[in-house]
Amino acid sequence: MNSAREGFRPLTLLIFLAASLITFAICVAAGSVRIPPADIITIIWRSVRRMPAPADSAAYSILLSVRLPRVICVALTGAALSISGAAMQGLLRNPLADGSTLGVSSGASLGAVTAIAFGITIPGAPFAGTAVCAMASAFVSLTLILSLAYRLDFSLSTNTIILIGVIYSMFVSSIITFITILAADKVRQIAFWTMGSLSGSTYANARVLAVTLFVCGGVIMTRARELNAFAIGEDNARHIGVNVGRVKLIILITVSALIGVCVSIGGTIGFVGLVTPHMIRMITGPNHNRLLPACAFGGAVFLMLADLAARTVLNPLELPIGVVTSFTGAILFVYIFFKSRRNGHA
């Protein structure tokens, strides 16, 4: 690692890219309904060449209208959540930082539920009101949590931040329940929304996710060097010339936007943003120049596999993806925790 350049080495990039593409291919090929590989290739070939769809083919619709957009959305969501997790962990020097532990995801849910309950909409764009409210509320939540944490404990120790995050999540969930009771006529809609899933993802969703990921993920990656400086302490970062306040604001805004969009499209999905950066860090090391792009790929792979399990394990039934990510994520997290502890003391 000493001799390596700071950036993402081409070979590593290639390996991550290949792993993601292979996972992508597997996830498109496998699903609730079995489609023979030969048919899959024919269907994709026909659609690439813009040949008209055969009139009577269920496989055609299943693959191109259901499975493909869903796998794309899942991959983008995984990448977005994982980058936000890595950025938060770097910025706060806190291995437990993540949208769900910090209460940002709950904050985003609050925004979305408020939008549904009080009928906040943006004329001409149905359901956009939910997304914008989710983003704004994620940002407000994050600012609130962090400013509270700074007041209590300037060093932002793990315990303080997680404690505040957990308390904030509970606080928000009580408000959500309260809103649900006030808006009794919308109960069903709110209940269904909070169970929100990535099933029914469309190419339009994928576009929104892709643009957000491209812009916000890109911005975060340009701050990789500053995040590295944060790793040795906020004061040190300031001393070596990092504009601490500005970087922090930029990261907060981009992370809120990423999480807000993810929550409004797929609901809250736990553990992706928390676990993936740790796994990736074991491969790439802590340098954000490598960690952040690798996290994008790693998060995509993790969530695609989780979604594959959600789609196929109880066929024809479908599991909520959060069940799979929390189940595997929690086990992985304990494993990583033990392993790093043991290494630390060895």
Partner 1 sequence: MRRKFITLLIGLILIAGCAKAGDSNAPASAEASAQTSGPVTVTDMKGRTITLSEPAERIVALTAADCEILYAIGAGDRLVGRGEYCDYPLEVLEVTSVESGAETNLEQIIALTPQILLLGTMAQSTEQLEPLESAGIQSVVSDAQDIEGVYTAIQLIGDLMGRQGESEDLISKMKSDFAAVSANAEANKGKTVYFEVSPLEYGLWTAGSGTFMNEIAEMLGLTNCFADVSGWAEISEEQVLDRNPDYIVTVGMYFGEGPKPDDEILGRPGWENLNAVRNGAVLNLSNNELSRPSYRLAEGAKLLNDFVMEHRAPE
Where on the chain is the footprint of partner 1 (CB under 8 A)? 31-33, 55-58, 60-62, 64-67, 69, 106, 109, 119, 121, 126-127, 169, 173, 176-177, 180, 184, 186-197, 199-200, 202-203, 267-268, 311, 315-320, 322
Least distance between partner 1 and beta carbon 197 (Å): 4
Least distance between partner 1 and beta carbon 115 (Å): 10
Q: What is the DSSP letter of 66?
A: I
Distance CA 128, CA 218 (A): 23
Distance CA 193, CA 190 (A): 5
Least distance between partner 1 and beta carbon 65 (Å): 2
Residue with Cβ nearer partner 1 (65 or 236) = 65
Query: Which residues, in sequence order, are bridge partners of residue 122?
Result: 125
What are the φ/ψ torsions at residue 125 (nearest 5 degrees)? -130, 85
Least distance between partner 1 and beta carbon 132 (Å): 14
Least distance between partner 1 and beta carbon 307 (Å): 12
Closest CA to 303 of 88, 21, 76, 98: 76
Least distance between partner 1 and beta carbon 130 (Å): 10
The tokens 């994620």 sit on which residue? 138
Closest CA to 154 of 94, 68, 234: 234
SS3 125: strand
Residue with Cβ nearer partner 1 (108 or 255) = 108
Residue with Cβ nearer partner 1 (72 or 242) = 72
Least distance between partner 1 and beta carbon 311 (Å): 6
Residue with Cβ nearer partner 1 (189 or 236) = 189
Output the CA angle 280-285-290, nearest 5 degrees.
75
Distance CA 225, CA 255 (A): 17
Contacts of 60 (CB under 8 A, 6+ apart): 43, 53, 54
Residue with Cβ nearer partner 1 (120 or 336) = 120
Amino acid, res. 159: N
Contacts of 57 (CB under 8 A, 6+ apart): 43
Residue with Cβ nearer partner 1 (173 or 340) = 173
Residue with Cβ nearer partner 1 (40 or 66) = 66
Least distance between partner 1 and beta carbon 263 (Å): 12
| Angle formed by the axes of helices 128-152 and 244-266, nearest 10° | 140
Radius of gyration for the chain, computed over Cα atoms and rounded to the nearest angstrom: 21
Distance CA 108, CA 316 (A): 31
Amino acid, res. 30: A
Structure tokens at 9: 């080495």
Residue with Cβ nearer partner 1 (89 or 205) = 205
Least distance between partner 1 and beta carbon 38 (Å): 18
Distance CA 325, CA 110 (A): 22
